[in-house]
Each structure stands twice: as structure tokens, then as C-alpha cells.
Amino acid sequence: MEEIHRFGYDPITCHTWNNNQSQLALSLNNNEVGIYQKSGKQWERSAVLAEHSGRVMGIDWGRTTNRIVTCGADRNAYVWTPSEDGRWRPTLVLLRINRAATTVRWSPKENKFAVGTGARLICVCHYEEENDWWVAKHIKKPIGATVSSIDWHPNNVLLAAGSSDFAVRIFSAFVKEIERRPEPTVWGTKMPFAALMYEERRRGDGWVHSVGFSPSGNRLAWASHGSVVGISDAGTVYTLTTSVLPFLSVLWVSESSLVAAGHDCRPYLYSVGSAVVYAGSLDVSTHEEDQGDLSAMQMFHSLDRLGAADVSTAIGTKHQNSVNQMAAVAWRDCVATRVSSVGTDGLLILWNTSSLHASLNSLKL
């Protein structure tokens, strides 16, 4: 069953979990990040990270190093390290950008992080020991518009970026100061910094809202504003045009299935094999279920006053407004068993994907 948590009535713009899901960091569409501690069934705010002067656009929690990186519309990024008294100490990272930062992600080894920006470039930042600061390097060409979403390949070098110029691209973010040359992947062999390894530009499909590498890194998925889910399987592209409102977030839950959610307020599961196939929704509520009891007197009363029998404004899904972001919470045997989604309705909902996966296996795709 789903767990629903409410964090006020403001939209939750971004969220991230720590390594054992005992703590949660999220931002309520303002310039603060709240750290919440699980106490029983409730979430209690244990700390506030307030350093940004503009809206916080992205948060990521490094699960092994226990550092949080945040980026904001004030063109800054901060790396937060925890101290013994439970407070978090910020370190400013100079990104050298002249537009807002839109999204931020730690690399798998957490020795560097990438920031997507509205300045049509991606900043890849690594820590320089001798000067005790984070150095930002820029990836510019051939990005033509705001970078809305980024995701790292498991090899810690390749970076996928979706942007508003209708393209998904894979760049190399190889930083020779901190790592060794990577092994060849399905996306190419030579990976100097800022090399464009792959590009897929679909003008008809609209802005790219979200990108994601599959757990092995051989597949790349994206969600476009034209209500399209696209997959590139090492270069072979499949798309699925959907009949629902556009998705804002895609998340791989196994090597062959992904969950997408967005303006339709409902997470959908898709199975990826030789084609992309719809495999059911995580949210199976209907309108009648959420109605509650509507007594006869209430019905005639509202008919009389307002001309309509049913005046509830609730929609028939668990989320009452668009889903902004999803995150995988728990993995078991390379399958994400729990997934969280946050929305513009101020709700965070935890979904179990195990039952849907069981039915997927019986479909034998």
C-alpha cells in the first residue's frame, strides 16, 4: 500500500533520501532545504539549510559520503557537510554561470557532481585538495538551450543531459585529475572531457523534461513535453507516444522497466524490451473510491445551491497535482521495490512496485 506524507500545501520541488531512508531532504518551492528525520510514522524537521538567496532547484544526497549538494536559481551551488551537533556546514561552489542552476546530481562515486544550468551549459565540479575548494569545468557545445535534467552513467564518467532544445545528449565528464581512463562502453570508447558521445534531437517531441540511464547504463530513457517517452538502447531509438499529459520525471526501476509520472498526477510503469509497452499504473485509485460518503441530503443541498450534485474538487488519483520528481528508495536484486514521488500538491507518496513487477514477470516480455 502507498504511504502518503504531507509537507504543507506548497509544492515540493525536489527531494532526496539518505542512505538508509531515515532522513529526507526536500524543498517546498522556496530558498530553503528542510532535513526531516523519521520518528515513528511522522517526519520531523531536524535541520534547515538556508543559504540560497534564490529558489532551490535541485538537491542530491551522497549516500556513501553523506554530503548534500544543492543548487538554486541564485546561480550558486553549495556542498553541505554534517557536523557532530546535527548542523550542516555549507561550502559555496563558484559555478561561474550567468543564469540559474536547474538541477544537480552527485556522480556514482560521489567525487564530483554535475549541475545543469539555464546558461546552456553543464558544470562538472570536483574537489581540489590543495586549495580546499570545488572547481567547476564547463561543457558548452552543442547545447542550445536550458539543461533541464541530468543523470550519471554507472561508470562515473558519462553524463546524460536533457534540454529545452528538444535534445538528449550524452557527454563525457571525465576529470583526469581525479580518476583513471574509463573502459569503453556501448556509447563509445574515447571519452575526453566534454566529448559528445551521443545526441538525439527530436524537434517534434518538445522539451525534454527528464533523462535517466538504466542500472547497467546501456539504455537511456527520456520524457518529452509532447507526451512522449523515448528509449535509446545503445543507439537504437524507440518512442512511445502516450495519450496522457506530459511526464516530468522518468525513473528506471529495473534494467527493463521504468516508471514515469508528471502532469497526469499518476505514476505509470512501462516495460522496455524490443519496444516500450505500457504495463499498468502504480496508482489504481478511482474517483468513487476517494469520494467518501456523500449523503442524499448533501447531494440535494448542493444541487439546490450550486446546480451540481458533486462539488468535490478532488481528482481520482493519490496525487492531487502534478508529480515533480521521483526517486528510487529501496533496491533488492537490481529491482527498485519502493519509489517515492513528490508533487505540486505538497504530498510525498511512497509506492511499492513489487506487485506490479510480479505481474510483469508473468507477462514474459
Which residues sit at the interface with other proteins, rule CB under 8 A? Answer: 144-145, 165-166, 203-207, 224-228, 241-246, 264
Beta bridge partners, 239, equal 230
The answer to whether the Cα torsion of 26, 121, 134, 155 is positive or negative is positive
For the bound state, the minimum distance from the C-beta of residue 257 to other proteins, rounded and expressed in Å, comes to 21
For the bound state, the minimum distance from the C-beta of residue 100 to other proteins, rounded and expressed in Å, comes to 14
For the bound state, the minimum distance from the C-beta of residue 231 to other proteins, rounded and expressed in Å, comes to 17
Closer residue to other proteins in complex, CB, 225/338: 225
CA-CA distance, 197 to 171, in Å (whole number)? Answer: 6
Closer residue to other proteins in complex, CB, 229/328: 229
Closer residue to other proteins in complex, CB, 147/335: 147
C-alpha cell at 19: 542512505
In 3-state terms the chain splits into helix, strand, coil percentages (rounded to 5) of 10, 50, 45
For the bound state, the minimum distance from the C-beta of residue 294 to other proteins, rounded and expressed in Å, comes to 27
Closer residue to other proteins in complex, CB, 107/242: 242
For the bound state, the minimum distance from the C-beta of residue 243 to other proteins, rounded and expressed in Å, comes to 3
Residues 6+ apart with CB under 8 A from 313: none
Closer residue to other proteins in complex, CB, 205/283: 205
Beta bridge partners, 81, equal 89
C-alpha cell at 253: 526501476
* Max intra-chain CA distance, the chain: 76
Contact predicate 332/354, CB 8 Å: no
C-alpha cell at 190: 574515447
Helix (H, G, I), strand (E, B), or coil: what is residue 60?
strand
Closer residue to other proteins in complex, CB, 117/185: 117
Q: What distances in angstroms separate CA 84 from CA 17, 87, 157, one per listed residue?
A: 20, 7, 33
Kindly report the number of other CB atoms within 10 A of residue 289's CB atom: 9
For the bound state, the minimum distance from the C-beta of residue 210 to other proteins, rounded and expressed in Å, comes to 15
Phi, psi of 83 (to 5 degrees): -115, 170
- Cα 336 to its chain centre, rounded Å, is 14
Closer residue to other proteins in complex, CB, 35/260: 260
